Amino acid sequence: MTYVFYAVILLLVLMLIKESINKLHGLIAIIFFFILLHFLLSMMIIPFIEQLLSYVHSVPYVPQLVYSALFYQLGSLFHKIFEEEEYEAIGEMVMIAIRIVLLAYWTAEVAKVLSNFSSILQKLQ
């Protein structure tokens, strides 16, 4: 709940800034975004992920999965911020970079199994 109060207070401050010093508004909005993101990560997301992973710590691939979901979500947040400042192309590039990173990671994981599979295929020949 603390987080919601923080967000509401920052929203009020932002609206005030928009009225009074419109030129700096965009800059301050981005700064506030990162402050809120920091609070969100440190207060809620990371503890939640740790709690979740402590239940399933022996199950393979769950940490990777959860962190790739988090990664993707952060990427789409950055995408939104770039879109807000009307830099759609850069936002799109961020998304592409994140997709490539995720794909590269998971392809490397699958490659191990696929190489085993192809070795079995060779044995059968």
- Give the residues lining the site for other proteins (CB under 8 A): 52, 56, 59-62, 65-66, 68-70, 72-73, 76, 102, 106, 109-110, 113, 116-117, 120-121, 123-125
Q: Which is nearer to other proteins, 9 or 42 (CB)?
A: 42
Beta carbon nearer to other proteins, 14 or 102: 102
Q: How far is the CB of 101 from other proteins (least distance, A)?
A: 12
Q: Which is nearer to other proteins, 10 or 79 (CB)?
A: 79
Q: How far is the CB of 34 from other proteins (least distance, A)?
A: 20
At its nearest, how many Å lie between other proteins and the CB of residue 20? 35
Q: How does 93-115 read in b/e, with b if 16+ C-beta sit within 10 Å?
A: ebeeebeeebeeeeeeeeeeeee
Is 14 or 74 the residue whose CB approaches other proteins more closely? 74
- Compute the least distance from the CB of residue 42 to other proteins, in Å: 17
